[in-house]
Amino acid sequence: MNQFLSVKDVPNLEGLIREALAIKKHPHLFEHLGQHKTMGCLFFNSSLRTRMSTQKAAVNMGMDVIVMNINEDGWKIETDFGVVMDGDKAEHIKEAAGVIGRYCDIIGIRAFAGLKDKEKDYSEHIISQFIRYSGVPVISLEGATGHPLQAFADVITIEEHKKTRQPKVVLTWAPHPRALPHAVPNSFAEWTIAAGYEVVIAHPEGYELDERFTQGAKITYDQKEAFKDADFIYAKNWSSYTHYGEILSRDLSWTVDSAKMSLTRNAGFMHCLPVRRNMIVSDEVIDSPRSLVIEEAANRVVSAQTILKRMLESQKR
């Protein structure tokens, strides 16, 4: 495995899930694989879970880890080509990626969508330059279009809690004061569809996601209808994809609350975190025994470790 950006980079999802559950039971069995290898984690944006869980996963694999907040700890980086670099950016991504690739055996990158230029964001223009110029395997730690380690952790969590082979999984939009990217809902849709679940996506009009990620899901503007008999409710805000990056609704009637949860089949409540309480979800729901948010975050170590194992194994050959 040379890159991990999407479920398409995984040859066999069922096998990967099985491997993840085995790693969760015995997290220290593979320390030899990462010995004398370095993981580099590069953050263009804030993070709590991804930063800590990926480091922990790398340490569990026996690796050393270097973490850098790009644009803060080092030189500011120019990511466009052909520009006269006479501003505040002292280093070009082409050299930075080449250099980091000499220090690290695997690189993880967090680089959110700018939400201004759809084409640029959907080309993953930062991560793709690291793939091109670093010469080492690259893991998305949330790029512009996807958050695969999160979606993989979410699928692991669903596998651990599902009571039927093909649970009904509902991804619902919920209100938020700021314009957020599509990476989390894109990946959640892509991975849950690939896992073979019954996937329903509920959102107000105008919030349709890119069809490349949602093909195979049922899409509805009726949140209550979607919640009926659901086994899992996954809440998330995102900005509009069609009216790229815009906030079209702040409608608090989309907040996930107990009344809506009572329409479900005693569904588990999921969110990737960080979550804004009483915007996305009521206190009552997130504090209830049906809330799986901490377990999802715990499974971020498992998803990251499984991907690192695959990458280290393919480097050995």
* Nearest residue (CB) to ligand CP, 177 versus 274: 274
Please tell me whether residue 185 binds ligand AN0 under the rule CB under 6 A. Answer: no
Q: Which of 15, 177, 206, 274 binds ligand AN0 (CB under 6 A)?
A: 274
272 is a contact residue toward ligand CP (CB under 6 A): yes
Binding of ligand CP at residue 264 (CB under 6 A)?
no
Q: Which does 280 bind (CB under 5 to 8 A by kind): ligand CP, ligand AN0, none?
A: none
The reply on whether position 181 binds ligand AN0 by CB under 6 A is yes
Interface characters, 125-144, with ligand AN0 (x: CB under 6 A): -----------------x--
Q: Which residues, including other chains, have CB under 8 Å from residue 317's CB and lie 6 or more apart?
A: none
Name which position in 100, 180, 226, 281 contacts ligand AN0 (CB under 6 A): 180
What is the rounded distance in angstroms from the CA atom of residue 116 to the CA atom of residue 260? 34
Q: Does 149 bind ligand AN0 (CB under 6 A)?
A: no
Residue 223 binding ligand CP, by CB under 6 A: no
Among 34, 44, 49, 237, binds ligand CP (CB under 6 A): 49
Stretch that binds ligand CP, among 31-39, 47-55, 74-82, 173-181 (CB under 6 A): 47-55
Q: Does 183 bind ligand AN0 (CB under 6 A)?
A: yes
Q: For residues 67 and 71, what is the distance between their CA atoms, to the nearest angstrom? A: 13
Q: Of ligand AN0, ligand CP, none, which one sits near residue 48, judging by CB under 5 to 8 A according to partner kind?
A: ligand CP
Closest separation between CB of residue 47 and ligand CP, Å?
A: 3
Q: What minimum distance in Å lies between the beta carbon of 45 and ligand AN0?
A: 8
* Phi, psi of 83, deg, nearest 5: -90, 150
204 upstream amide cis, omega within 30 of 0:
no
Q: Examine residue 272 and tell whether it contacts ligand AN0 (CB under 6 A).
A: yes
The entry of ligand CP, ligand AN0, none near residue 192 (CB within 5 to 8 angstroms by kind) is none
Determine phi and psi for 10, rounding to 5 degrees.
Answer: -105, 120
Q: Which stretch binds ligand AN0 (CB under 6 A): 18-26, 59-67, 178-186, 214-222?
A: 178-186
293 lies in the binding site for ligand AN0 (CB under 6 A): no
The residues of the shown chain that bind ligand AN0, judged by CB under 6 A, are 142, 180-181, 183-184, 272, 274
